[in-house]
């Protein structure tokens, strides 16, 4: 079963945490998404997950805010982040840094 937690940071910004326990292990697959509401739509700004990415394992961050990242989506591996809660702290810090006017 996938668990989902939504953490509102403001009327326009929220963090969505999704995680699922992996059978027979103590680990969890997770994705933490920072998104901005624009009218009725949500725009994904940043996502941290520990799913396979191009056949490479490890926690990594996807940046989708093309205005901030001129060359489009970028992916960086983050070995220091191992839990969804650590990922949510990183996402919140990123959103507060780059989108302070919305918080």
pLDDT at 86: 95
**Residue 13 neighbours by CB distance under 10 Å:** 19
Answer for the pair 97, 45: CB distance below 8 angstroms, yes or no. no
pLDDT digits (tens, 9 = 90+) for 17-63: 998 876 766 667 899 999 999 888 899 999 999 988 888 888 999 99
Tokens at 32, concatenated:
């933490």
Whole-angstrom Cα distance, residue 24 to residue 36? 36
Nearest to 17 by CA among 35, 36, 3: 3
pLDDT at 25: 64
Answer for the pair 68, 81: CB distance below 8 angstroms, yes or no. no
């Amino acid at each position: 079963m996938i668990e989902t937690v939504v953490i509102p940071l403001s009327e326009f910004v929220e963090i969505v945490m999704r995680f699922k326990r992996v059978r027979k292990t103590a680990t969890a697959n997770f994705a933490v998404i920072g998104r901005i509401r624009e009218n009725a739509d949500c725009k994904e700004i940043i996502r941290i997950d520990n799913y396979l990415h191009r056949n490479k394992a490890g926690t990594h961050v996807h940046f989708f805010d093309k205005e901030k990242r001129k060359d489009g989506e970028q992916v960086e591996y983050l070995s220091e982040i191992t839990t969804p809660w650590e990922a949510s702290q990183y996402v919140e810090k990123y959103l507060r840094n780059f989108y302070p006017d919305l918080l």
